[in-house]
């Protein structure tokens, strides 16, 4: 496997036993596989317990109720019980699958019992060899991630076989050599299979980690882009200085309200708000103070409006407000409240307490008007009327005999 790096910087290089060189990565792999390993080992232990007990039936047929039978059934039952206990314990504590002690104890008991059958139970030559071969493969394949330990137990198994067989049931020289060669080959096969399995599992795990890292990176990029988009959208719609809608956004929202008003035959009123003598304020106190006054007045406007009302910066020191479902009387009340609030403002950077005031021009959208421009023009005209009348006032554009200019 080509050596790579995980996103945490760990190397995915494998050791001679096909485990990760990086101990942290190996520990992570084992933790990830823990439940799976425990499940696999539990099944193997159930099968092993069943097999050990099942062979007692064969022992009985071969030995009857002899001493040898009782020794064998005792050891077989001990192994089976140990297997069952560990299988039950693994159900609750999956971490036991990766602890060497319990499984090593069972290996010791199981292999010793298997070797004990050679002197205690007479059987044709091939039967003992076959059970050793099966046990050897089982050790390699069913005990996960314990390759060096399983090699040690296999050495015990083969060495035991090589010692016990000549002592109790000697084989012809050629047959013994063939058996040992066969066992050597079985070990090689088991070893290679486990190496291959370990390598495949870890390669898959490393790819999974890599994939997750790429996904996380993509997720972060997507989030960054959507934040950027959100920011751009905000910037495209908002006036930088005051934080209220810019002119483009105001028209977008107000035109939507106009269509709704036409549909529902409900009123829509527009107000133009202009800060009085702003040029002289700018000249006297500087542009920076002018900016603060602009955003303070914008805040005042917002404070007198309902959530459904729309406010935007029309340009310079002029604001525009759309009041859906409001008649001229309501609009005038709101504008008066705004005018009073601005007049009562006391800003530390503007020493003259009465310096701040606004003039408001008001006009309603007449039935049948499909654009905002005519009403805006009338509100603007009313605003200039207000300026001509001395400022700091609210003026309603002439709509009919019932409504005349209203001054503060």
Ligand X SMILES: Nc1nc2c(ncn2[C@@H]2O[C@H](COP(=O)(O)OP(=O)(O)OP(=O)(O)O)[C@@H](O)[C@H]2O)c(=O)[nH]1
Q: Are residues 112 and 146 in contact, defined by beta-carbon separation less than 8 angstroms? A: no
The token duo for 213 is 């890292």
Give 82's contacts (C-beta < 8 A, 6+ positions apart).
105, 106, 109
Give the nearest distance from C-beta 215 to ligand X in angstroms.
Answer: 46
Find the binder of ligand X among 6, 94, 282, 392 (CB under 6 A).
282
Please give the Cα distance from 381 to 259 (Å, whole number): 24
Please choose, out of 171-179, 284-292, 340-348, 368-376, the segment that lies near ligand X by the rule CB under 6 A: 284-292
CA 268 to chain centre: 47
Q: Which of residues 100-119 bind ligand X (CB under 6 A)?
A: none
Contact call for residue 246 and ligand X (CB under 6 A): no
The token duo for 72 is 């064998």
Please give the Cα distance from 304 to 244 (Å, whole number): 14
Binding mask 297-316 for ligand X (x = CB under 6 A): -------------------x
Give the nearest distance from C-beta 357 to ligand X in angstroms.
Answer: 9
Please give the Cα distance from 238 to 107 (Å, whole number): 74
Q: Which of residues 164-203 bind ligand X (CB under 6 A)?
A: none
Q: Choose, from 19, 26, 257, 317, the residue flagged as catalytic.
A: 317
317 is catalytic: yes
Contact call for residue 19 and ligand X (CB under 6 A): no
The number of residues in the chain equals 408
Which CB atom, from 100 or from 316, has the smaller least distance to ligand X? 316
Please choose, out of 48-56, 144-152, 197-205, 271-279, the segment that lies near ligand X by the rule CB under 6 A: 271-279
Contact call for residue 278 and ligand X (CB under 6 A): yes
Contact call for residue 7 and ligand X (CB under 6 A): no
Give the nearest distance from C-beta 276 to ligand X in angstroms.
Answer: 4
Q: Which of residues 375-394 bind ligand X (CB under 6 A)?
A: 387, 391
Please choose, out of 67-75, 270-278, 336-344, 394-402, the segment that lies near ligand X by the rule CB under 6 A: 270-278
Crossing angle of the two packed helices 173-237 and 247-264, in degrees rounded to 10: 80
Secondary structure class of 272 (helix, strand, coil): strand
Q: Are residues 118 and 164 in contact, defined by beta-carbon separation less than 8 angstroms? A: yes
Give the nearest distance from C-beta 299 to ligand X in angstroms.
Answer: 15
Which CB atom, from 58 or from 289, has the smaller least distance to ligand X? 289
Find the binder of ligand X among 22, 26, 274, 385 (CB under 6 A).
274
The token duo for 157 is 């198994």
**Cβ density class 193-232: b for 16+ within 10 Å, e for less:** ebbebbeebbbebbeebeeeeeeeeeeeeeeeeeeeeeee
Which positions touch ligand X (CB under 6 A)?
A: 241, 274-280, 282, 287, 290-291, 294, 316-317, 387, 391
The catalytic residue positions are 317
């Amino acid at each position: 496997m080509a050596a790579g790096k995980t996103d945490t910087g760990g190397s995915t290089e494998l050791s001679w036993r096909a485990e990760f060189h990086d101990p942290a990565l190996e520990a992570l792999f084992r933790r990830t596989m823990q439940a799976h390993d425990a499940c696999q080992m539990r099944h193997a232990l159930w099968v092993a317990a069943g097999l050990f007990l099942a062979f007692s039936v064969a022992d009985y047929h071969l030995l009857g109720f002899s001493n040898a039978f009782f020794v064998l059934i005792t050891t077989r039952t001990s192994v089976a019980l140990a297997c069952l206990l560990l299988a039950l314990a693994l159900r609750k504590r999956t971490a036991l699958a990766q602890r060497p002690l319990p499984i090593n104890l069972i290996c010791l008991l199981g292999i010793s019992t298997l070797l004990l059958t050679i002197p205690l139970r007479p059987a044709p030559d091939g039967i003992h060899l076959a059970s050793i071969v099966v046990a050897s493969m089982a050790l390699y394949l069913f005990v996960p991630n314990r390759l060096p330990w399983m090699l040690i137990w296999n050495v015990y198994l083969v060495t035991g076989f090589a010692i016990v067989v000549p002592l109790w049931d000697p084989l012809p020289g050629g047959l013994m050599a063939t058996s040992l060669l066969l066992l050597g080959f079985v070990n090689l096969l088991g070893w290679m299979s486990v190496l291959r399995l370990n390598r495949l599992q870890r390669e898959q795990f490393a790819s999974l980690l890599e994939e997750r890292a790429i996904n996380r990176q993509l997720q972060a990029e997507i989030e960054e882009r959507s934040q950027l988009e959100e920011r751009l959208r905000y910037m495209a719609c908002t006036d930088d200085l005051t934080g209220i809608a810019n002119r483009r956004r105001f028209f977008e929202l107000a035109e939507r309200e106009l269509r709704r008003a036409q549909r529902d035959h409900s009123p829509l009123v527009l107000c133009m708000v202009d800060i009085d003598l702003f040029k002289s304020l700018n000249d006297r106190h500087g542009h920076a103070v002018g900016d603060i006054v602009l955003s303070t007045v914008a805040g005042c406007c917002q404070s007198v409006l309902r959530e459904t009302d729309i406010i935007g910066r029309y340009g310079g020191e002029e604001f525009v407000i759309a009041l859906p479902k409001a008649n001229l009387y309501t609009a005038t009340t709101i504008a008066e409240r705004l005018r009073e609030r601005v007049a009562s403002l006391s800003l530390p950077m503007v020493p003259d307490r009465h310096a701040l005031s606004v003039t408001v021009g008001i006009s309603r959208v007449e039935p049948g008007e499909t654009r905002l421009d005519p009403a805006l023009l009338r509100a603007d005209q009313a605003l200039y009327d207000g300026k001509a009348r001395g400022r700091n006032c609210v003026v309603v554009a002439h709509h009919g005999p019932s409504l005349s200019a209203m001054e503060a």
